[in-house]
Structure 1
Amino acid sequence: PATVSRYTSLDCADKSIVYALESAVIQWSRQVQLVLKRESSQPLRQGESPTPKAELDFWKSRSEDLEYIYDQLSAVKARGVAKLLDRLQSSYFPAFQAMFRDVRAALTEARDIHTHLTPLSRHLELLESLEFPEVKPRLRPLLHVVCLIWATCESYRCPGRLTVLLQELCNLLIQQASNYLSPEGLLRSEVEESQRKLHVAMDTLSFFKQVFQDRREHLRTYFRENQEVREWDFQSSLVFERLDGFLGRLLKVQDLLKTTLDFHQLGKLEFSGIRGNALSRQVQQMYDGFQEMYGVFLESSYDCLDPQSTDFENDLCEFNQRVEDLDRRLGTVFSQAFDDAPDLEHAFKLLDIAGKLLERPLVAQDASEKYLLLIRMFIQDLDTVRAIYSQRVQEEAELGFSSVHKNMPSVAGGLRWARELRQRIQGPFASFRRVTHPCMAGAEGKRMTQKYEDMLSLLEK
């Protein structure tokens, strides 16, 4: 109404000009607000996975756009419009002033952020040019620069902005790790090579998280003495949600490859003893079944490293259920093979043949009691050796001599006799030392070790 009353003193031509000017201000304001409201976090909110280059490009572009707008608003024509609106006491003049102030403040901020982010580009270019196994040593210098930006750029010292940059760094590392692992061939390559690559990737990504935490704890060292320290008081989960999801998927693939490597041993297993042939046939059938199960992954077309891939999750779930059944059957087979072993030597050969398969939890449950049986067998053997030793000592005490190997002098024969007894107990005990089962640290295991050491001391006198 106030504007209308002022227009009454103007002729129709003047009114149309003022109306056009005010309409232009409204349009400018809308366009400027669209620019001002743009945030670098928008791609992340839309579910995209931008890298830090997007952050640097955003602030460079924002600085250029705002500088262009500022120049336009500072031009003679725009200033003329402002003066006319002011003289006419238009209600849109304060809006024009506010728009100009907002643009100037946003431009100052964008220039400041762009200037401070620029040194990061060199580190990012280097990171992207490296092979992934060479990335790890560059992560600490990279986060060092991020800390410097936080401490020196007040405009960027905002959790909402920093978490965007850190998430984008995670995206870059995920992208590089995925390219290095080559998901289309990861499950089709040699298992040992794929495991090696997975270890490199998981170690590098975990190291990035460690460096982040370390820099977070020492953030105050980046601030000047008279400067107020602003900590990273945001939750780490805001930064590492996607990276943790990717690491979780790598862990599942790693477990899958470990299972595959374990079950590859089935193709080499052969048993002896009464039921040797029957047990060997059972194991071969299990191996063939496992090959068929794993073939599902070889024939798949999905990205096994994509945490969003539910197809992989479904196949893996079914695979693990069937592997559990194989583990139970395998535990039964090994139990039967242990029962058929005539002595410690054959039992330890079975352990060597089985290898890592006996460490699988369900197989280990069935094999656990067999380890105790081996310990008791060895204790019994130690008791037998002790009896042989005692009998010889008694012979020497009663007769003044003891029997030795044919055609050997008394001393040499005695030494050979002692050496043979030592070898009889040292061989099995050396095999026990390779056993990592908890029973070795239990009461029976300790009793066996003590008996062995006592017997060895007697034979070395």
Structure 2
Amino acid sequence: MEAAEPGGERGAVGPEPSEPSQDPGAGGPEPPEAPDPVSERVCRGAARALAVPAERCAGAARALRGKAVFFLRPPGAGPGPAELLCGDLPADPLAHFAALLEEVIVPILTNRKNHQGWPRVVSQDIIHHVHSLKKTVFMVVGQVKGKTLLPLPAGSEGIENIDPENERFLELVDKSLVHATESAIIDWSHQIQRALKKESSEPLLQGSNPNPKVELEFWKNRCEELECIYDQLRSRKVRNMMEVLERVKSIYVPAFKSMLRDVEAALAEAQDIHLHLTPLQRPLEDIEAVEFSKVKPFLAPLLHMVCWIWATCKHYNVAVRIIVLLQEICNLLIQQAVVYLSPEDLLKGEMEESLGKVQTVLDILNGFKGVFEERRENLHMYYEPGQEVRKWDFHSRMVFARLDSFLKRLEMVKGLLTTALDLTKLEKMEFSGIRGRALGQQVLDMHEEFQEAYRVFAERSYDCLDLASTEFEQDALGFQQKVEDIDHRLSTVFTQAFDDTLDLEHVFKLLTMFQSLLERPVIAAVAADKWPVLISMFSTALDHTRLIYCSHTQAGLKLGSPPLHKNMPSVAGALAWARELRARIQRPFDQLRHIPHLCLDSAQGRRVVQKYEEMIQLLDRYQDKLYLDWSQTVSEKSQYNLTQPLIRRDPETKLITVNFDPQENQSLLLADPASDSWKAYVDYVDEIVLDGFFTAIECSLKYLLENTGC
């Protein structure tokens, strides 16, 4: 059989033996070649023949960097090497097959010299199927490379070399080219329409969760694809083909021009959007590079740039497109949050650390929603004065649907960790009173039940942050039911322990021991019934405090001065006593005010607060009076005492003694003058003063001797 001449039956595939050729209009850098179905197809056949798993063989073919050898035993072949087929398999079987089709199969099967003796119908059918196969392979090669390649019709070979200005232009063109070109326009329109209908929202609609880089990559690839299509449609060969159709007045010329206008408009749109989206690349990379706990400062600038895109890009200020971009930003934040939280260790590590991370993520994501609302309200700032402001009039639910679901799951995890952290305190609880030991044992039993219930999460291998998984929700629901039972039993223990308390001090110790457990709904409901009792106990304490005050002041009136602590002067001792009495009611009142869910706005609460304030005012007046009385006489007494010598000589014994007023010392120390301790104290003070006096005289004499030369 003979092959066609080099200039004979040629299609859209070029002369390169290794890959199909492209029309000059299909230019542009080619993306990396992807694995194709041909290699996997060959490998599946080889796997069946050699009893090798097809997946392993196909995987090996995808990993090839050079040629490989295959061995194939056809179905029904007998044993032995004679029946075994072998050959080499290139690294890119699709390109190899396209080159084989272009250089061998098409030239042979389309050469009419090889059709001698064939019926005309068979010959035409063979040529038709060969060109159909060639066109299909050409389009598949383009799809693998991420391009839309437009196959040229049969008979278009060499038309680019014909000058349209030539008077014999139509005579030089193959007559069958008109019908072939019209058929090609129909095929091109289908290909181009598929390319034009592509939207960046397709991954979201298909159920995947792309990030904003997918959006940027989509518009970049769309620019390249539409440029490739436009270059093909504006190539010299296609222009000459259209010239032929115009001269024969084909009805497909308007359709081609309309298709070209659609491509031009789509290309201008893609270039405009790609130009405006490109600045987003840097802030998105910054968000991915930084730890999620530090990502909050990057969110406002990111949304600021999104607002600028909305205000300045005339092709992107459409609600559906900005919603897609915002959804993808939410997906990016969720993706980074999951990496930061490490779901596989979130419920297995330290509870406090995990709870802190979850709270950090909640704050950041809720903060992002807040920034979004703030930017939505201030979109007018991105427009020039007098320019029409296009608002984000879509519902925020359209943007935050998945983010809200993620936040809901985080709240569930937070509640679980908070509960677990609360119940871990049960192990350290100790109770006083008659039933203290029994109550403590009950609480320990509850703690063991809690640990057993919580251990389920440590044994699971699922991702607790996977929104598609319901297994975690089921386990969390079962855990919550067990916790509710523990809460009811804890509330009973709290009631019994509260009833056993003797005074306010023990009550507040019990409340401190329960701490955050009092905020749990079941326990809080039971504790609320005890708050009136607690307020009543505090009211009784106030009454007792007032009795102490009255008895103390009355004793002071009878004795001339109030009773004091040992070793305290009169005024300072009285003030110290007043401060101690104030602390006796002030500390319980401060603790009372900080008890969760305890309301002092009730009638009982207002009476207690009024009684407390009256007692505080009474103590204030008492302290003010003490200070005022002391300040009126302290100056006169101080001046008199300062005029007295520190030591004096007894006129009878001629002995030197300290000039301290015994009455002052007695009132200072409240000591008995006849007691041995008082006498020892006086002798001790006298000795210190005399030693200091004689030491001063000795120093003065030494100074006199050294400086007078005596």
Task: With the length of structure 1 as denominator, give the TM-score of the two structures.
Answer: 0.92
Amino acid at match of 1:104: E
Contact 1:55 1:165 survives alignment (8 Å): yes
Contact 2:211 2:329 survives alignment (8 Å): yes
Amino acid at match of 1:404: P
Question: Which of 563, 568, 571 matches 1:404?
Answer: 563
Q: Secondary structure at the match of 2:391?
A: coil
- The answer to which of 224-233 and 43-52 deviates more is 224-233
Relative to structure 1, is the Cα distance of residues 434 and 210 closer, same or farther in structure 2, using a 3 angstrom cutoff?
closer
Query: In the alignment, what sits opposite 2:371?
Result: 211
Question: For residues 218 and 110 of structure 1, what CA distance do their matches in structure 2 show?
Answer: 28
Task: Report how far residue 449 of structure 1 moved.
Answer: 2.4
**Which fold has the larger relative contact order, with Cα–Cα distance below 8 Å and residues 6 or more apart in sequence?**
1
Question: For residues 300 and 567 of structure 2, what CA distance do their matches in structure 1 show?
Answer: 72
Amino acid at match of 1:178: V
Query: In the alignment, what sits opposite 1:383?
Result: 543
Query: In the alignment, what sits opposite 1:244?
Result: 404
Query: In the alignment, what sits opposite 1:20?
Result: 180
Query: In the alignment, what sits opposite 2:165?
Result: none
Task: Report how far residue 408 of structure 1 moved.
Answer: 7.8
Question: For residues 332 and 191 of structure 2, what CA distance do their matches in structure 1 show?
Answer: 33
> Does 2:457 correspond to 1:457?
no
Query: In the alignment, what sits opposite 1:369?
Result: 529
Question: For residues 100 and 430 of structure 1, what CA distance do their matches in structure 2 show?
Answer: 81
After superposition, residues 291-310 of structure 1 pair within 5 angstroms as: 291-310=451-470
Query: In the alignment, what sits opposite 1:85?
Result: 245
Relative to structure 1, is the Cα distance of residues 65 and 403 closer, same or farther in structure 2, using a 3 angstrom cutoff?
closer
Contact 1:25 1:92 survives alignment (8 Å): yes
Task: Report how far residue 17 of structure 1 moved.
Answer: 2.9
Question: Which of 269, 283, 296 matches 2:429?
Answer: 269
Q: Secondary structure at the match of 2:228?
A: helix
Relative to structure 1, is the Cα distance of residues 342 and 58 closer, same or farther in structure 2, using a 3 angstrom cutoff?
same
Query: In the alignment, what sits opposite 2:349?
Result: 189
Contact 1:372 1:439 survives alignment (8 Å): no
Task: Report how far residue 238 of structure 1 moved.
Answer: 1.1
Question: Which of 436, 439, 451 matches 2:599?
Answer: 439
- The answer to which of 413-422 and 343-352 deviates more is 413-422
Task: Report how far residue 30 of structure 1 moved.
Answer: 1.2
- The answer to which of 105-114 and 372-381 deviates more is 372-381
Question: Which of 116, 121, 124 matches 2:284?
Answer: 124
Relative to structure 1, is the Cα distance of residues 73 and 427 closer, same or farther in structure 2, using a 3 angstrom cutoff?
closer
Q: Note the aligned Cα RMSD (angstroms).
A: 2.3
Instruction: State the identity as a percent.
Output: 55
Relative to structure 1, is the Cα distance of residues 457 and 57 closer, same or farther in structure 2, using a 3 angstrom cutoff?
same
Question: Which of 276, 293, 296 matches 1:133?
Answer: 293
Gaps of 5+ in 1: 1-9
Amino acid at match of 1:44: L
Contact 1:404 1:410 survives alignment (8 Å): no
**Bigger-Rg structure (1/2):** 2
Q: Secondary structure at the match of 2:315?
A: helix
Amino acid at match of 2:480: N
Q: Secondary structure at the match of 1:208?
A: helix
Question: For residues 268 and 594 of structure 2, what CA distance do their matches in structure 1 show?
Answer: 68
Q: Deviations over 1:88-107 (max 9, x none)?
A: 22222221111111111111
Contact 1:404 1:417 survives alignment (8 Å): no
Query: In the alignment, what sits opposite 1:76?
Result: 236
Query: In the alignment, what sits opposite 1:7?
Result: none
Question: Which of 479, 488, 503 matches 1:319?
Answer: 479
Task: Report how far residue 133 of structure 1 moved.
Answer: 1.6
Q: Deviations over 1:48-82 (max 9, x none)?
A: 10111111111111111111111111011101111
Query: In the alignment, what sits opposite 1:155?
Result: 315
Q: Deviations over 1:173-232 (max 9, x none)?
A: 110011111111111111111121112211111111111111111112212234322111
Amino acid at match of 2:563: V
Q: Deviations over 1:93-146 (max 9, x none)?
A: 221111111111111111111111111111111221111122111111111111
- The answer to which of 310-319 and 87-96 deviates more is 87-96
Question: For residues 214 and 414 of structure 1, what CA distance do their matches in structure 2 show?
Answer: 60
Contact 2:555 2:563 survives alignment (8 Å): no
Question: For residues 345 and 612 of structure 2, what CA distance do their matches in structure 1 show?
Answer: 51
Q: Deviations over 1:392-434 (max 9, x none)?
A: 555566x565883698899467566545544443443343243
Relative to structure 1, is the Cα distance of residues 205 and 396 closer, same or farther in structure 2, using a 3 angstrom cutoff?
closer
Amino acid at match of 1:267: E
Query: In the alignment, what sits opposite 1:330?
Result: 490
Q: Secondary structure at the match of 1:156?
A: coil
Relative to structure 1, is the Cα distance of residues 84 and 142 closer, same or farther in structure 2, using a 3 angstrom cutoff?
same
Question: For residues 414 and 218 of structure 1, what CA distance do their matches in structure 2 show?
Answer: 64
Question: For residues 427 and 104 of structure 1, what CA distance do their matches in structure 2 show?
Answer: 80
Contact 1:422 1:459 survives alignment (8 Å): yes
Query: In the alignment, what sits opposite 1:360?
Result: 520
Q: Secondary structure at the match of 1:77?
A: helix
Query: In the alignment, what sits opposite 2:499?
Result: 339
Relative to structure 1, is the Cα distance of residues 363 and 223 closer, same or farther in structure 2, using a 3 angstrom cutoff?
same
Question: Which of 223, 246, 256 matches 1:96?
Answer: 256
Question: For residues 278 and 614 of structure 2, what CA distance do their matches in structure 1 show?
Answer: 72
Task: Report how far residue 36 of structure 1 moved.
Answer: 0.8
Amino acid at match of 2:444: Q
Task: Report how far residue 377 of structure 1 moved.
Answer: 1.4
Relative to structure 1, is the Cα distance of residues 353 and 100 closer, same or farther in structure 2, using a 3 angstrom cutoff?
same
Q: Secondary structure at the match of 2:600?
A: helix
Contact 1:116 1:153 survives alignment (8 Å): yes
Question: For residues 55 and 258 of structure 1, what CA distance do their matches in structure 2 show?
Answer: 38
Q: Deviations over 1:362-392 (max 9, x none)?
A: 1011112222212211211221232333345
Amino acid at match of 2:376: R
Relative to structure 1, is the Cα distance of residues 364 and 37 closer, same or farther in structure 2, using a 3 angstrom cutoff?
same
Query: In the alignment, what sits opposite 2:58?
Result: none
Relative to structure 1, is the Cα distance of residues 277 and 98 closer, same or farther in structure 2, using a 3 angstrom cutoff?
same
Q: Deviations over 1:31-62 (max 9, x none)?
A: 11111111111000000101111111111111
Relative to structure 1, is the Cα distance of residues 19 and 226 closer, same or farther in structure 2, using a 3 angstrom cutoff?
same
Question: For residues 146 and 420 of structure 1, what CA distance do their matches in structure 2 show?
Answer: 63
Contact 1:143 1:215 survives alignment (8 Å): yes
Query: In the alignment, what sits opposite 2:649?
Result: none
Task: With the length of structure 2 as denominator, give the TM-score of the two structures.
Answer: 0.60
Contact 2:219 2:274 survives alignment (8 Å): yes
Contact 2:531 2:598 survives alignment (8 Å): no
Query: In the alignment, what sits opposite 1:6?
Result: none
Question: For residues 241 and 174 of structure 1, what CA distance do their matches in structure 2 show?
Answer: 12
Question: For residues 511 and 496 of structure 2, what CA distance do their matches in structure 1 show?
Answer: 13
